[in-house]
Copies of this chain bind each other. A is one copy, B any other.
């Protein structure tokens, strides 16, 4: 019997990973080069900018990060004085995280850059291709739960 061969280049998990990695790496220049942020730090900033105030657990859920990543990212952003922690009144295990003025400023500076990045990427696609991207990703996401 013919030995089976797997063509890595067309193997879905590989292609998907490679693509995400390339896009992500390119995008990371926006927060890494500019402010020396790591990805978890960027996501933390993005989460808090978007929602105003969150707990570490909520951050982890929203942005799909392990709690240790969140913990370290928060610690770093706190060092920079980009966010502050406020203990919860009722439950003393919980801390509410909020961006400081400086953190908010950084966030506001980065949002347009992020949007421009996405826009420019999508602008290279035809309308049909954009639709395919949207549909394909939604389908995969759905298929995966």
A contact set with B: CB distance below 8 Å:
3-9, 11-24, 26-27, 43, 46-47, 49-50, 62-64, 108, 111-112, 114-115, 117-118, 121-122, 124-126, 128-137, 139-144
- Stoichiometry (number of copies): 2
Instruction: Assess the B137–A121 pair: CB atoms within 8 A.
Output: no
A-B CB contact pairs (8 Å), 24 listed:
A4-B112, A5-B49, A8-B50, A8-B63, A9-B62, A11-B118, A12-B23, A13-B27, A13-B118, A14-B43, A15-B137, A15-B141, A16-B24, A16-B137, A17-B21, A19-B140, A19-B141, A23-B140, A121-B143, A125-B140, A126-B139, A129-B135, A132-B132, A132-B136
